[in-house]
Structure 1
Amino acid sequence: MASHPHHPHDHSYKLLFSHPEMVRDLLTGFVKEAWVEQLDFSTLEKVSGSYITEDLRDREDDVIWRVRWGDDWLYVYLLLEFQSSVDRFMAVRVMTYLGLLYQDLIRQEAFTPNGKLPPVLPIVLYNGEKRWTAAQNVADLVEQVPGGLERYRPNLAYLLLDEGAVISDPEWSDHMRNVAAALFRLEHNRDEQDMLEVLGTLVEWLKAPEQTGLRRAFVVWIRRVLLPNRAPGMELPEFNELQDLHEVHDMLAERIKQWPERWEEKGRQEGRQEGRKEGRQEGEQRGIEKTARNLIKLGVLSDEQIAEATGLTVAEVEGLREEDTQ
């Protein structure tokens, strides 16, 4: 997905990460660095990324937040790269976006008290099945030429959150209350039961009235992304957008409960069809054998010729001949 085939469902990710809770939990849960503890998450505010579309039209899915870090603002640039494949040159894209973001911050005169540019944390979220293998610093993509030129090699790292790796990491505990973690676990669920469990947890966590927006965002994402990708047989009935998360959870629970019955029913039907087919085959087989017997009685054709005519093997024809002569 190196170019710009944006999935229509990317928008539902953008919707999720437009909620401060998702961004807070993403940072507190998955950025294992000391400075995160010094952020004042009550100041989280979304920044428009409109500038991006001037130069790179396909960046409108990125979500940019800023949060106070002491007296300074820290900009968190979430590259919502929800791609299923690894982009080898991701680091170059990050460098480009970062350059554009900084140009825009200069236009806005969004400097720190010392007149410097604010720090930016570029995060790449990746949800593919295979582990991420691409360079996480643009320096690693550039050929090294010794003798002084290496000084000019660009050096820019991004923070990679590879969901699959994060979740299978033994260090990571899924007991912490973290909505970003719940999203990752849903994307990489082991089975339907696992999916239901996580959904149940989310219902618990997002009960408050002020969390209605985030609940809805999860509902949209579950319908557009999770079910079509992870559980194609489980699409929910058409609905008015107002369905809430707990209803979706209950409907899916009901669906999953009915699954064993559905399999059994399907098995019974297949069994009946199978039986009819066998019956038909037995009838056909008897008909063929009768034809072969008649040909044997005529006494004109050899066993080979009879086999040829009926589709039986020579041994089968010989067997019939023996039965008839006994």
Structure 2
Amino acid sequence: MGIQNPHDKFFKEIFGNVEVAEDFFTNYLPQSILNIIDLETIEPQKDSFINKDLEESFSDLLFKVNINNTPGYIYFLFEHKSYPSKDIAFQLLKYMIEIWEAKVRKEQLNKLPIIIPLVIYHGTERWKASTALKEMINGYDKLPEDVKAYIPNYEYLLYDISRYTDEEIKGEAQLKIFFTTVRDIFTKSSKGAWDSIDRAIAYLKELEDKQTATEYFETLMRYIFSVDKSLTSSDVSKIVKKIETTYPEGSEVVMTLAEKLREEGLKEGLEKGMEKGLEKGMEKGLEKGLEKGKREERITTAIKLLTKKFGPLPEELKSKILKLDAVTLEVIIDGIFDYESLDDVKKYLG
């Protein structure tokens, strides 16, 4: 529904709710951490530490909370690419340093606050990257133990929800709906949307506050309609009819959203010269517009990162980068820390 990054919006709308965050902490944090956290002190922070080059792939949220009777933070990093990043431990370290710098500067602190970092991932590929920074440091494991003490290292908590079964997803209705929906949005076809809606209705019926349930249902449907490009106008009509009978409270919400979807899809299609009806307008016009925008952003990011690492790029190399498809550009960006020279990049340029 005109959402530039529906994953980001869905994540922040759900986890920005203190009750949902507390539900997550209670059900998913290791008991050793839960034992020293005062859940009564959870306080969402407005800060975000994701730079513009990466905001299409990541979202973040920071919560202030008393840890072992001392003010500290829990930092959520939500990765919504379809495959995991290899350098996530390094990225997280940079974000934690930015958090420390911001808090020390604003609050005039003499000591750095505790930060517990965690990553939520829901892509199609299994997460294979190590959760420890040391695995990114060449030769770390071969160092004597007393020398390792001088080398920065830490671990982050990982929640690869793409591998969770329904039984492994715990918590109250809002948290369950979020996890099952983002789990299935990449790993299943349009059936994933149907399954998500069926489960959401079942969970929402458990909520006593019908106003909250309806609002949450609208958030869910906006996310599904925005992300699942396999849904056709016929699918949307079927969803509306199904909800009219199974969840009357949400039928008006879905019909309103469906109408907006039709209008926006048709508008995008017409703007791009795709005047062949609703379905073609949505599937071609909107999809191509978004794809072009993403590709142009990736080109800028790739050139910027390579220039920063190797200095000004040869014009011939720049020209080849400008012709690459979005997938190849993403691969180049993701491997930026592994390249030793521009020759390592040229193998992707054909």
TM-score interval for Structure 1 and Structure 2 normalised by the shorter chain: 0.5 to 0.7
Question: Within 1, Cα distance between the matches of 2:215 and 2:113?
Answer: 30
Instruction: Render the CA deviation track for 1:143-183: whole Å, top value 9, x for unaligned.
Output: 12536654333212111110022337x7x365x53532322
Question: Within 2, Cα distance between the matches of 1:245 and 1:180?
Answer: 22
**1:136 and 2:139 are equivalent in the alignment:** no
Shift of 1:119: 1.6
Question: Within 2, Cα distance between the matches of 1:79 and 1:180?
Answer: 16
Report what 1:201 is aligned to: 202
Return closer, same or farther for 1:109/1:186 CA change in 2, 3 Å cut-off.
same
Report what 1:222 is aligned to: 224
Return closer, same or farther for 1:106/1:177 CA change in 2, 3 Å cut-off.
same
Report what 1:180 is aligned to: 175
The one-letter code sitting in structure 2 at the alignment partner of 1:109 is E
Corresponding residue SS for 1:228 = coil
Does the CA-based 8 Å contact 2:173-2:203 persist in structure 1? no
Report what 1:32 is aligned to: 30
Does the CA-based 8 Å contact 2:24-2:175 persist in structure 1? yes
Question: Within 1, Cα distance between the matches of 2:72 and 2:226?
Answer: 32
TM-score normalised according to structure 1 size = 0.59
Report what 1:63 is aligned to: 61
The one-letter code sitting in structure 1 at the alignment partner of 2:199 is V
Question: Within 2, Cα distance between the matches of 1:248 and 1:125?
Answer: 31
Report what 2:111 is aligned to: 116
Alignment RMSD: 3.8
Report what 2:103 is aligned to: 105
Report what 1:279 is aligned to: none
Corresponding residue SS for 2:79 = coil
Does the CA-based 8 Å contact 2:169-2:176 persist in structure 1? no
Shift of 1:245: 9.5
Does the CA-based 8 Å contact 2:38-2:65 persist in structure 1? yes
TM-score normalised according to structure 2 size = 0.55
Bigger mean CA offset, 150-159 vs 93-102: 150-159
**1:151 and 2:152 are equivalent in the alignment:** no
Shift of 1:103: 0.7
Instruction: State the aligned residue count.
Output: 234
Instruction: Render the CA deviation track for 1:60-108: whole Å, top value 9, x for unaligned.
Output: 9421112234642331111122221111111100111111111111112
The one-letter code sitting in structure 2 at the alignment partner of 1:121 is I
Percent identity among equivalent residues? 20
Q: Which runs of 5+ in 2 are unaligned?
A: 241-246, 256-350
Question: Within 2, Cα distance between the matches of 1:248 and 1:90?
Answer: 41
Question: Which among 121, 128, 146 is matched to residue 126 of structure 1?
Answer: 121
Shift of 1:138: 0.9
Does the CA-based 8 Å contact 1:136-1:158 persist in structure 2? yes
Report what 1:48 is aligned to: 46
Question: Within 2, Cα distance between the matches of 1:30 and 1:158?
Answer: 14
Return closer, same or farther for 1:45/1:199 CA change in 2, 3 Å cut-off.
same
Return closer, same or farther for 1:119/1:166 CA change in 2, 3 Å cut-off.
farther
Does the CA-based 8 Å contact 1:16-1:218 persist in structure 2? no
Report what 2:9 is aligned to: 11
Question: Within 2, Cα distance between the matches of 1:245 and 1:81?
Answer: 34
The one-letter code sitting in structure 2 at the alignment partner of 1:247 is G
**1:87 and 2:82 are equivalent in the alignment:** no
* Structure possessing the higher radius of gyration over alpha carbons: 1
Corresponding residue SS for 1:21 = helix
Does the CA-based 8 Å contact 1:77-1:121 persist in structure 2? yes
Q: Which runs of 5+ in 1 are unaligned?
A: 1-5, 253-326
Shift of 1:122: 1.2
The one-letter code sitting in structure 2 at the alignment partner of 1:127 is H
Question: Within 2, Cα distance between the matches of 1:70 and 1:105?
Answer: 19
The one-letter code sitting in structure 2 at the alignment partner of 1:198 is R
Instruction: Render the CA deviation track for 1:251-295: whole Å, top value 9, x for unaligned.
Output: 69xxxxxxxxxxxxxxxxxxxxxxxxxxxxxxxxxxxxxxxxxxx
Question: Which among 163, 166, 171 is matched to residue 165 of structure 1?
Answer: 163
Report what 2:327 is aligned to: none
Shift of 1:23: 1.6
Bigger mean CA offset, 140-149 vs 153-162: 140-149
Question: Within 1, Cα distance between the matches of 2:124 and 2:14?
Answer: 21
